[in-house]
Structure 1
Amino acid sequence: MASASMAWRNLLSLAQKRFFNTAVTLPTASSSFTAEHLIKTCGLPLQPALSVSKKFQIDENNLQNSQAVVGFLKSHHFKDAHIAKMIQKCPAVLRCKVEDNLEPKFDFLIKNGFEGQLLPQLLMSDPRILVCKLDTRIKPCLELLKPFLGSNENIIVVLKRASWLFTYSFKSCVQPNIDFLVKEGLPLDKLAKLLMSYPRTILIKHDRMVSAANYLRNLGLEPQAPMFIHAYRVMVQLSEPTWKKKIEAWKNVGWSEGEILGTFKRFPFLLSCSEEKIVCMMDFFVNTVKLGHQTITANPSIFKYSFDKRIYPRYNVLKVLESKKLIRDRKTATFLKISEEKFMENYITKYEDKVPGLLEIYGSIRKTKGL
């Protein structure tokens, strides 16, 4: 046994020299033992185990706790891959006390709808949940979300997407923002949609949230409006200098400020476009496709599509069909906006017998342009 253990540690030492810069101080015997334990007990691959062992140590004389944690996770149907991923992300989980820490949290989460594979999925997404306090982090999170989201299914949607919500102080950070939006008149179904679609937007500084809501009101966009949460999301994700740069970028391609803000109210994604995309797409629509300015401003959704994957391939199909005199009086904006299913049905399948290889032309252009 002693010789086998020595051989193992020699292997670890060799691997450490290969994987890490030799200028760095070589790991201690304690870190070598930790790596060995992480590999054998927790299922981590060699390199991640070595990496974790540089910043996290396991006491060689007190293995019972980490072994109990692994056993507890397995008893709740966590697979080896689940456990390895969790420990790699948050090795401090191995220091949790099963009876005092893990059991109450698991009981609470299971009671609130995290059953079956939902529990491993949640905890793998952010295992720091298990080192958060149950009474001051986890419970307030669920208790605050449930009245707005209504069902465990909706809560699961949010927490699977943003499990890090458990790690924030709800009373000092999240609750004031939610209370403000409710007070401003945001309908509960819109708040639920905001939480499920853009959960990070409720974590911004309160002053910034108030400023964004006031700006949108001044534009005439009330919290009850269908586009409010989308416009709000765009605003809070952009710094003030970036917001101004986006406005200037649209002005530089011929839009007035009134057109920009008016379009933003009904299509907030307009100000999410990069400056490069704004310039390139406008150049293509104006100089190649020959769309008029009014047509472009009336159809802002064309800017949400990928040039490589949608705009350019469809435009080339349009040109082929026009050259064969198969379509006339085209409405290019509509041509670009219809669903892929409708596009295939109305312009590829419909004319493929008259234009042999049309599907291949469409597919090859999309592939060449980056698909």
Structure 2
Amino acid sequence: MATNISSTGNLISFIQKRFLLTSAAATVTLSPNSPLPTTTSCSSSSSSSTAQFLVNSCGLSLQSALSVSKKFQIHENDLHKLRSVVQFMKAHGFSETHLAKLIQSRPGVLHCRLEGNLKPKFEFLTENGVVGQLLPELILSNTHILRRGLDSQIKPCFEFLKSVLGCNENVLVALKHSSWLLTLRLKGTMQPNYDLLIEEGVAVDRIAKLIMMDPRAIQNKRDKMISTVSTLKDLGLEPNAPVFIHALRAMLSISESTRKKKIEVLKSLGWSEKDIWHAFKRHPLLLGYSEEKIRAGMDFFVNTLKLGLQHVIACPQLLTYSIDKRLLPRYNVLKILESKKLIKKDLKIKNLLKINEKEFLKNYVYKYVDDIPGLLDLYGGADKAKKIHLMTENVLSHCNVVEAQESSPFIIDHQCPQ
């Protein structure tokens, strides 16, 4: 039989399908005098039928379909039900690529009940704004959603998040980054930790900010949450202070042994324990920096910039900055400008290290490029300047959107649009 195949892609698809059909036929076709099929031949037939269905209906490649068929079997009596599941998911935005990924990781999804599982869950999610590509992306990032009860798990978690974050829009932002929030044990971790923070005087909008910044903080064990809150209060941090949630997040993210090690590192560099906790309360990220970053930063500020130790302790956020990408390029530019007497010698270099990139480029690089050839290259070149310009444009564009009162997924606002 002549077959018109116009491209290599079509040829491969044709060969795959012919292989599957031939394989299936070879394993089940018997002559009148043939013995009954062995377990092996029946299993092979089932695998071929499964693979054929996965290729033709779900978009899997032949290799992936054969791999899935080794651990997942489809019986002919189930084909109508399985096709209904596939069509239902396609009708809700699942492409063949989405389906292929989903089935490769959890082939059992094809056996999900439509009426008792998929339909009510998808209806609830879409009613609450999980629409378009967000729906398949959410399911793919957390397939446990299809295995958890709607009324016992998904609804309570969604409603809890909404009560804290303020509206569906903020819940969706949180779920896009941490879809596991929808299947986390509500009564085991989230609710008790939330209740504790409320009892301690942390405002709801601050807890919302904590969840948006670092949702894993809310799933820490209750004992650890209690001890961490107590430690921060002992340091003099009030739960109603804006910095409290930042300190809480920082403290929860590291173990006690790691915290002690960072303290010893800082002490070895001349910090007292009082200095450390004073700086931590101003800049909680301090104890999250690696030992290498802390040592390199202190060496640069104390030995290269000749900045006194107390200046760093008073402004610990200086240790945030990258030496290679920010500090050293700026330092080199400022030293040249100083040597050419283009800036005052007693200019506070610490302040110039903290200003934003756009301002530094404008006032200390572009302003003097004609006077000092190669200054832009010394600072990082035109590529860096272009990147900064694009970042600035993006920020300005975003600000314009906010000013136009269009919804922004990164703004926590309990007065969300209806």
Q: Same fold per TM (> 0.5)? A: yes
Supply the AA of the counterpart residue of 1:173: T
Partner of 1:192: 208
The structure-2 alpha-carbon separation of the partners of 1:105 and 1:319, relative to structure 1 and needing over 3 Å to count, comes to same
Native 8 Å contact 2:24 2:45 kept in 1:
no
Secondary structure at 1:63's aligned position in 2? helix
**Matched residues in 2 for 1:288 and 1:47: separation?**
59
Q: Distance in 1 between the 2:183 and 2:285 partners?
A: 30
Structure 1 window deviating more from structure 2 (42-51 vs 144-153): it is: 42-51
Q: 1:21 matched to which residue of 2?
A: none
Choose 54-63 or 303-312, whichever is displaced more.
54-63
Is the CA contact 1:310–1:366 (under 8 Å) kept in the aligned structure 2?
A: no
Question: Identity, % of aligned pairs?
Answer: 54
Distance 1:57-1:237 versus aligned 2 partners, 3 A rule: farther
Are the equivalent residues in 1 in contact too, given 2:20–2:48 (CA < 8 A)? Answer: no
| Residue 271 (structure 2) pairs with residue 252 (structure 1) | no
CA contact (8 A) 1:184 1:223 kept: yes
Which residue of 2 is the match for residue 20 of structure 1?
none
Counterpart-to-counterpart distance in 1, 2:25 and 2:322: 52
Deviations 1:280-332 (A, max 9, x none): 11112111121111211122112122223222222222223223222222322
For the pair 1:85 / 2:101, whether they are aligned, the reply is yes
CA distance, structure 2, for counterparts of residue 8 and residue 358 of structure 1: 71
Q: In 2 relative to 1, CA 4–180 (structure 1 residues): closer, same or farther, beyond 3 Å?
A: closer
Greater Cα offset, 320-329 or 96-105 = 320-329
1:299–1:333 CA contact under 8 A, matched in 2: no
Match of 2:377 in 1: 360
| Residue 281, structure 1, aligned to residue 297, structure 2 | yes
Larger Cα-atom Rg: 2
Partner AA of 2:233 in structure 1: R
- The alpha-carbon deviation at position 365 of structure 1 amounts to 11
The alignment's TM-score, normalised by the length of structure 1, stands at 0.86
Structure 2 counterpart of 1:171, one-letter code: K
Q: How far off is 1:132 after superposition?
A: 1.6
Farther-moved stretch of structure 1 (114-123 vs 273-282): 114-123
Distance in 2 (CA, whole Å) between partners of 1:309 and 1:48 is: 44
Q: Give the CA deviation at 1:156.
A: 0.8
Q: Whole-Å Cα distance in 1 between the matches of residues 317 and 71 of structure 2? A: 48
Any stretches of 5+ residues in structure 2 without a counterpart? 1-16, 27-42, 385-418
SS class of match (2:85): helix
For the Cα contact (< 8 Å) 2:275–2:313, is it kept in 1?
A: yes
CA contact (8 A) 1:132 1:167 kept: yes
Q: 2:367 aligns with which of 342, 346, 350?
A: 350
Residue correspondences, number: 351
Per the TM alignment, residue 101 of structure 1 is displaced from its structure 2 partner at its CA by 0.6
Are the counterparts in 1 of residues 20 and 51 from structure 2 also a CA contact under 8 Å?
no
Between the aligned partners of 1:357 and 1:286, the Cα distance in structure 2 is: 28
**Mapped contact 2:282–2:316 kept (Cα < 8 A):** no
Residue 112 of structure 2 aligns to which amino acid in structure 1?
C
Contact 1:313 1:366 in 2 (8 A): no
Match of 1:330 among 347, 356, 361: 347
Partner of 1:291: 307
- For CA contacts below 8 A with separation 6 or more, give which structure has more relative contact order: 2
SS at match of 2:152: helix
Tell me the equivalent position of 1:18: none
Q: Give the conservation status (yes or no) of the 8 Å contact 2:246–2:284.
A: yes
Cα distance between partner residues in 2 of 1:315 and 1:50: 60
2:226 matched residue in structure 1 = 210
After superposition, residues 4-23 of structure 1 pair within 5 angstroms as 5-6=21-22
Matched to 1:303, the amino acid is L
Aligned amino acid, residue 355 of structure 2: I
Q: How does 1:70-219 map to 2 (within 5 A)?
A: 70-219=86-235
Which is worse superposed, 312-321 or 195-204? 312-321
Distance 1:143 1:365, change over 3 A: same
Instruction: Name the CA distance, whole Å, in 1 between partners of 2:253 and 2:69.
Output: 37
Cα shift readout 1:7-41 (whole Å, capped 9, x = no counterpart): 7999xxxxxxxxxxxxxxxx977666655544443
Counterpart AA for 1:145: L
Cα separation, partners in 2 of 1:358 and 1:91, compared to 1, 3 Å = farther
Contact preservation (8 Å) 2:112, 2:118: yes
- Distance, in Å, in 2 between the alignment partners of 1:325 and 1:29 is 85
Match of 2:93, SS state, is coil
Distance in 1 between residues matched to 2:66 and 2:372, nearest whole Å: 60
CA contact (8 A) 2:48 2:69 kept: yes
Q: CA deviation digits over 1:102-140, x for unaligned, max 9?
A: 100011111222233332332233232122211111011
Paired with 1:283 and 1:31, the residues of 2 have a C-alpha distance of 64
Instruction: Check conservation: 1:66, 1:95, Cα contact below 8 A.
Output: yes
Flag the 1:365–1:292 CA change in 2: closer, same or farther, 3 A: farther
Change beyond 3 A, Cα 1:178–1:320: same
